[in-house]
Amino acid sequence: MLRTQFEEELNKLHNQFYSMGTQVSAQVNKAVRAFVSHDRDLAEEVIEDDQEVNDQETKLEKKSLEMIALQQPVSHDLRTIITVLKASSDLERMGDHAVSIAKATINLKGEERIHIVEADISLMGERVKAIVDASLNAYIQGDDTRAREIASWDDTVNQMYSEIQNKTLTAMEDNKETITTGKDYLMTIIYLERIGDYAKNLCEWIVYLKTGKIVEL
């Protein structure tokens, strides 16, 4: 394969990865919206669309391994392919957590709600989606400085997690009717916090892509 052809293949790989990332971001957004608006139909949509995310990861993995085997790339080219291979796995896990939130939405139908907690979960979801989107943009731009900055935003998500956890536990103690709901709230914020962690992983892969160093941000 000529160098220009190889570069075209690399570019396609980038674009496919970004496409998968935008779909996962949309899945996270829909899952949180479904949860706080009690929309079972939207939740079902998230669950159904997850197969497409899984298929995209499989295609990216196959293409990445194929390029490594056939082209035996070195240096920056190899790092580019490894980044896509590893980071697409992180995206797929984000998609799985979006599905878990959607399933919680379906479980909660008809249960006692805690509206103040749901408002906070909505804000946490917006924050997590912002981190995912910013990470994807930093990837496309190859901006490791920006990636380091975005990774620090995860501290806010962790803080929101603690605050919502405390509010939920207090509400469950005050009103036993909210215990079932509260359990799903607690699981949902765990899923959101993990999505934030995977977005931070993406930032770490961007740093690796640019510097060749594996760092913990």
Contact in structure between 20 and 53 (CB atoms under 8 Å): yes
Contact in structure between 167 and 117 (CB atoms under 8 Å): yes
Q: 111: which DSSP letter?
A: S
- Taking each helix axis from N to C end, the angle separating 154-174 and 144-152, rounded to the nearest 10 degrees, works out to 20
Burial (CB < 10 A; 0-12, 13-18, 19+), residue 13, is: buried
Instruction: Say if 96 falls within a structural domain.
Output: yes
Q: Is the pLDDT of residue 13 over 70?
A: yes
Give me the domain span that covers residue 110. 3-211
Instruction: Say if 172 falls within a structural domain.
Output: yes
Q: How confident is the model at residue 70 (pLDDT cuts 50, 70, 90)?
A: confident
Element (H, E) at 178: none
102: closest CA among 125, 73, 136? Answer: 125
38: number of CA atoms within 13 Å, CB side? Answer: 10
Q: In Å, how far are 67, 74, 95, 127 from 12, measured between CA atoms?
A: 12, 18, 22, 29
Q: What is the pLDDT of residue 1?
A: 54
Q: What is the chain's alpha carbon radius of gyration, rounded to the nearest angstrom?
A: 19
CA angle, 76 then 80 then 82, to 5°: 115
Q: What is the pLDDT of residue 2?
A: 61
Q: How confident is the model at residue 87 (pLDDT cuts 50, 70, 90)?
A: very high
Mean pLDDT of 85-89: 93
Instruction: Say if 17 falls within a structural domain.
Output: yes
Q: How confident is the model at residue 64 (pLDDT cuts 50, 70, 90)?
A: very high
Q: What is the CATH number of the domain that holds 96?
A: 1.20.58.220
Question: pLDDT, tens digit, for every residue of 167-194?
Answer: 999 999 999 989 989 999 999 999 999 9
87: closest CA among 29, 139, 23, 141? Answer: 139
Mean pLDDT is lowest, of 87-91, 95-99, 107-111, 204-208, for: 107-111
- Compute the distance between CA of residue 99 and CA of residue 50 in angstroms, rounded to an integer: 7
Question: pLDDT, tens digit, for every residue of 129-172?
Answer: 999 999 999 998 999 999 999 999 999 999 999 999 999 999 99
Instruction: Say if 216 falls within a structural domain.
Output: no
Q: How many domains does the chain have?
A: 1
Q: What is the pLDDT of residue 213?
A: 85
Instruction: Say if 217 falls within a structural domain.
Output: no
> Would you tell me how many other CB atoms lie within 10 Å of the CB of residue 38?
16
